[in-house]
Structure 1
Amino acid sequence: MILPPVTDQALTELGRTEGGPETLSLLLRDQHTRRLLLLRAVLDAVESADPAVCSAAVRVRLREAWALVEEADRVDTAVRATARTYRPGTAPTPTGDTGAGPAAALYGGAAAPTYREGSGAAPAAALYGRAAAPTYPEGTGTGIETGTGVHVGSAAQVYGDGWGLTPAGGQGGQGGQGGQGGQGGQGGASASAAYGRVEAREPVEGRGGSTPVPGSGLTLAGPPLPPVRALLLNPFIGPWARHCLRGLGAAAGPRGERDARELGRDLAYFGALAAVAAARAGVPYAVRLTARDGVLTLPSLGALRTAAPGDTPVDVVHRRQSLTLRRPGEKDIVVRLQSGGVGAWSDSAAWAPAHALPGLLPGSGPVPLDDLDPYRTARGGPRHHDLSGPVTLDDAERKRWLQSWSGIASVLRLGGEHRVTEAVALLRCLVPLSAPPGSMPGGSCSGTRREAFGAVLSSTPPTATTFAATLVHELQHTKLAALSDMLTLHHASPQARHFAPWRPDPRPYDGLLHGAYSHLALADFFQRCALATPHPARRESAWAQHARYREQVGAVLPTLVGSGDLTAQGRRFVDQMVAVYERLAEHPAPRGQAARAEAYVRAARALWTQRHAPSE
């Protein structure tokens, strides 16, 4: 079944910088599917890669990591099904310190399976299932062009209309034969032989269902993702997959030893992800991972720093929610998993735990404050000119983040209940950045990455109001980028030639649309705050912000509306932006604030024209 198209209602809501539960669910569902498509593209590219590009050993390690993910998904599914059907008085076996973990019922107390890299020890059925490989015909459906010489076909052709992951089906081939195929490194094989079918099917909770948005009285369409699948769909899977595909793509050209080493490092990240998924599911295992430049990152758990500076093998053993990390010539480190999905703790100074901020609303999940993941910012590529680099937080900085976060829900609610809903629904993690170079005290910067849907990058927000405005701003970019993946809004040239009063440089049409969209949301947000707050000083500040953002949007709307490159859907989208802009005039800012905003935009235009007007 084909994924639902963007409805007129969804397009209208998004054009108004809003988005009800059905619309937000549509964006989430589409982005989840695209991440699975990218993951499948990586698996296919690895199997078909020339041995000079991807060695047999690397290929085998990826297969074994995938087998561990399948086992984790199977156990997680079985445990969740048991939890839904047990009768009072017959509670499921507890997990963690007090029991054998959720895998106990499946293993019957037997010794844990071992998935050691390069050993071929993973179950043959898991590694070499006989599911048929989907095809990716170009030009049919909404395919994904990865920009790396790899084209991925439409979601409907591969995944149907649900979410999730289907393990390898069938009876399974002969492990020895499959192993020989991997060892031999013969290119051209389909990933389905090694990985089964990566499929977005109905979630384990069953067909239909819904996910409440705590504290809002609203629900998102579709049940929540199970933990293992949520880990596979985390925001950094997108950047990781695209980085791998660049290394595997035919367009990359001849490879040297360094390129092969970097690709091996990139693919090894999935082994760490698989180890985390299995630990979260309670699957006992023993694997060998590699600390990259002396650091082994276990996504959502933390990072281990080894004494050796280079790439170092680390044996990881999981039993009963406890990880034992073994390094050559060093004392073992024991790490214990924490409930809530983020963090693991150890008394060793070599271990840095992952941290998270509390749920935005009571009952909502924690929001990771990720300063560890190696794919949290662009690696080796150009960085946005206004953004600083990533930073590792100390306790004092984390405290400042928490202080600003603690008051953010009430500020967002002043700007409209829909701002709270979209933050709970779309925000998946925060990536700390250092303070902008040369910024004044209280200055900040923020951004999003199109390939990392759900992640917001930001320097430490000085106040809850600044933090709330950052989320409103960046989540509009998130929504518009996701919508643009689903349909074409315009066919404008990428040439940077348009004036934008919020930037000193010329902008392409798409950049102008993104900027106007996010600034329109901020104009609406601050107007609502000004009308709702009882504090005079805060009200005056909100009116000033509203007046400036509205004036900035008004300066570029004629360019957006007058473009002949808009599609029919793009025209409806921009028309809704105009409707919001006009509605804002119903409650104008105080005259002094409006006059200062007009003067600001006039000065910005004059300076821009002086710098960028064509010479005579």
Structure 2
Amino acid sequence: MRLHHLSNPVLDALNSVTENEEAVGFLLDAESSRRLLLLRAILDAAADADDVRRAWKLLEAAERADPAAFRTVLLDPQVGVWAASLLRRLSRPDPAAATEIETPLHVELGFLGQLAAAVFITAGADFRACVPVREGRVFLPGLGRATVGGDLRGTAEVWRQDGVVRVGAGGVTVTVPDETENDAPGWEGQRWLRAQHAGVDLTLALDDLGPYAPVPQLTAPGRLAPAQFASWQRWFERMWPVLVEGHTDGARALAAGLRSVIPLPRGERLRARAASSSDAFGCLLLSEPDEDEDVLPAQLGVAVLHEFRHTLLNGLIFLTPLFDECDDLFYAPWRDDPRPLGGLVHGAYAFSGVAHYWRTRGPEGLAGFEYALWRSAVRTVLGTLRDHPALTPLGRSLIGSLDEQTAPWPAESVGAREQRLAHLATVHHRATWRVHHLHVPPAHARELADDWRAERRVDVGMRPERALRADSGACRLDTLALLARLSLIAPGEFDALRAAENPARTVPGVVPADLALVDGDAASAVKLYTEELMGPVARPAAWAGLGLALAECGERAAGTALIERPELALAVSRSLPTPPDPALLAHWLAE
């Protein structure tokens, strides 16, 4: 293991809205060393276990047999998640005490033997190892999974002799095929996604076998059927040329750094899910994309790029802190909930790359909308971060560099329709976030309600500050952005949704007023939002929608009052025995 020096050229390459292959190589080298440190820490914490010492000796022999194979297996994302989670467990007062969802400790420690076995198999060297059985299976990272039966306390042997690899337990022997990617009786091979274009090749595992979930809240559905795997292969083959042609340097960096994709089931329409983990460098969790013929390649490409940038920043943060501990919570234009400082830094980094991606794809249509939307989001957040005292010197350097690179973007033109839709989505998200998470003190709300009933003018700016209190019920704050996308890529589907009596049955969270607003029918939107707000059950988001609709109808002062202070309108309304006329309340707040 060697020391890693974060040079200025590497730092400059990472402090960018683009991606760089050499910087990715540096981070991979550093991650390899970090994994070695994790392994050593596991050995030190469990040195009294005979199985661990035997597995360690086998692992040392495997590294000597083929250092390149050892590095390949070591950098498998499953190894990273296993090592980090096991070390956290070993730091507990009683690591052997397993929770209901945890595997027995001896099984987790025994993964060292599976790691060594995978290295020997990859190297093509003979060996013999004893490994634990997990729910009747033996997983070999980067290779596949053998089913041998048995229970959580069982063991299996893995060996290679005369060029043949076998896994055996309890009278069951599984022969691993020479091409480990292929399935065989008792064997499920690790399948790989492959794409090539213009001399840039992408190869990464489709991980539907690994026992370790990088993001516990997002679990894979299990082994994909051949037809499902073929769909993923087809999607990546369609995505890759678009990424290579528009972002050649970024594509080369992706090809160097990506290791695996964990497939997730398709989510809601135009609400694809994607995630990554600091424990799993090079691993992306992606839901099945919407199969809109014209936009799938671009949408999948930006999802891959987005999560990869989180991976890059995680790699940098492991080497040097970018921010100190901080209890502050912030508005993030891409989230429903208030975010900590680290989340804001991560978002600024990831979405600056997203905005740059769309920036190169033209000013019209979906690309123009997405660019206008995300450049605004990034500039907003960089403004919040720019002078934050919790940033370290390198953190300030990162934010300053992103700020400098993105500063010219707001002046660049996009289509008028695309800019309007991006403005609606941007303002609606922020106003809806405010109405959910900014809490008006009860006494202040009662005073305002009394003033309203007495028809007294008030200076709302002189009232007490609103307290930030996270509302767990806040969800789908991106509704207007979703509808904007739908109107751009599937206008027939948008029209059908607008004609529907209950559009939420098709797209959760959507109401007719939102559809009217996006469609440019502001008068109908005002009417529909007003009816909702004067009804028995009104969504907080309706105040934000009404503000935008009023502004588009020319009532800018009233609209601005609801856009900038929707939490006051909500507080007054809830303090009155019957709902007020929301437009009159908006005008009163604007006085």
What TM-score do you get using the length of structure 2 for normalisation?
A: 0.68
* Aligned mate of 1:512, from 336, 341, 344: 344
2:567 maps to which residue? none
**Distance in 2 between residues matched to 1:564 and 1:329, nearest whole Å:** 64
* Aligned mate of 2:374, from 521, 537, 549: 549
What amino acid maps onto 2:158 in structure 1? V
After superposition, the Cα gap between the structure-2 partners of 1:483 and 1:325, relative to the gap in structure 1 and judged at 3 Å, is closer
**Distance in 1 between residues matched to 2:131 and 2:325, nearest whole Å:** 46
2:52 maps to which residue? 62
Per-residue deviation, 1:449: 0.4
What amino acid maps onto 1:428 in structure 2? R
What SS is found at the alignment partner of 1:358?
Answer: strand
| Cα deviation code 1:182-223 (max 9, x no counterpart) | xxxxxxxxxxxxxxxxxxxxxxxxxxxxxxxxxxxxxxxxxx
Contact between 1:17 and 1:476, CA under 8 Å: does it hold in 2? no
What SS is found at the alignment partner of 1:444?
Answer: coil
Contact between 2:215 and 2:276, CA under 8 Å: does it hold in 1? no
1:446 maps to which residue? 274
* Aligned mate of 1:355, from 167, 191, 212: 191
2:65 maps to which residue? 75
Per-residue deviation, 1:74: 2.8
After superposition, the Cα gap between the structure-2 partners of 1:328 and 1:611, relative to the gap in structure 1 and judged at 3 Å, is same
* Aligned mate of 1:466, from 293, 299, 302: 299
**Distance in 2 between residues matched to 1:421 and 1:393, nearest whole Å:** 28
**Distance in 2 between residues matched to 1:313 and 1:448, nearest whole Å:** 32
What SS is found at the alignment partner of 2:160?
Answer: strand
Percent identical pairs in the alignment equals 28
Per-residue deviation, 1:443: 4.1
What amino acid maps onto 1:367 in structure 2? L
Is 1:530–2:362 an aligned residue pair? yes
1:314 maps to which residue? 156
Per-residue deviation, 1:67: 2.7
After TM superposition, list the pairs within 5 Å mapping 1:150-189 onto structure 2: none
**Distance in 2 between residues matched to 1:434 and 1:282, nearest whole Å:** 36
Per-residue deviation, 1:16: 1.9
**Distance in 2 between residues matched to 1:261 and 1:611, nearest whole Å:** 39
Contact between 1:401 and 1:461, CA under 8 Å: does it hold in 2? no
Q: Normalized per residue, which structure has more helix?
A: 2
Task: State the structure with more CA Rg.
Answer: 2
Per-residue deviation, 1:353: 1.4
**Distance in 2 between residues matched to 1:286 and 1:415, nearest whole Å:** 48
What TM-score do you get using the length of structure 1 for normalisation?
A: 0.66
Is 1:488–2:325 an aligned residue pair? no
Contact between 2:146 and 2:188, CA under 8 Å: does it hold in 1? yes
| Cα deviation code 1:267-314 (max 9, x no counterpart) | 111211211211222222333323211121122221122344554332
2:483 maps to which residue? none
Contact between 1:411 and 1:465, CA under 8 Å: does it hold in 2? yes
Higher relative contact order (CA 8 A, sep 6+): 1
What amino acid maps onto 2:319 in structure 1? M
After TM superposition, list the pairs within 5 Å mapping 1:337-376 onto structure 2: 337-338=178-179, 343-348=180-185, 350-358=186-194, 364=201, 366-376=203-213
2:141 maps to which residue? 299
1:30 maps to which residue? 30
After superposition, the Cα gap between the structure-2 partners of 1:293 and 1:388, relative to the gap in structure 1 and judged at 3 Å, is closer
Per-residue deviation, 1:451: 1.2
The alignment covers a number of residue pairs equal to: 434
Contact between 2:275 and 2:307, CA under 8 Å: does it hold in 1? yes
Per-residue deviation, 1:522: 0.8
* Aligned mate of 1:397, from 222, 225, 228: 228
Contact between 1:305 and 1:351, CA under 8 Å: does it hold in 2? yes
**Distance in 1 between residues matched to 2:149 and 2:2, nearest whole Å:** 52
What amino acid maps onto 1:25 in structure 2? G
2:132 maps to which residue? 290
**Distance in 2 between residues matched to 1:64 and 1:419, nearest whole Å:** 43
Contact between 1:489 and 1:567, CA under 8 Å: does it hold in 2? yes
What SS is found at the alignment partner of 1:407?
Answer: helix
| Cα deviation code 1:158-180 (max 9, x no counterpart) | xxxxxxxxxxxxxxxxxxxxxxx
Contact between 1:388 and 1:434, CA under 8 Å: does it hold in 2? no
**Distance in 2 between residues matched to 1:450 and 1:508, nearest whole Å:** 16
What SS is found at the alignment partner of 2:146?
Answer: strand
**Distance in 1 between residues matched to 2:152 and 2:302, nearest whole Å:** 41
Per-residue deviation, 1:39: 0.9
Per-residue deviation, 1:257: 7.9
**Distance in 2 between residues matched to 1:346 and 1:456, nearest whole Å:** 24
Question: Which 5+ residue runs of structure 1 have no aligned equivalent?
Answer: 50-58, 78-225, 532-538
After TM superposition, list the pairs within 5 Å mapping 1:242-257 onto structure 2: 242-249=84-91, 251-253=92-94, 255-256=96-97
Contact between 2:215 and 2:275, CA under 8 Å: does it hold in 1? no
Per-residue deviation, 1:584: 2.6
Per-residue deviation, 1:7: 3.0
**Distance in 2 between residues matched to 1:9 and 1:3, nearest whole Å:** 17
What SS is found at the alignment partner of 1:323?
Answer: strand
RMSD: 2.6
Is 1:411–2:239 an aligned residue pair? no
After superposition, the Cα gap between the structure-2 partners of 1:388 and 1:65, relative to the gap in structure 1 and judged at 3 Å, is closer
Segment drifting more, 415-424 vs 37-46: 415-424
Segment drifting more, 307-316 vs 37-46: 307-316
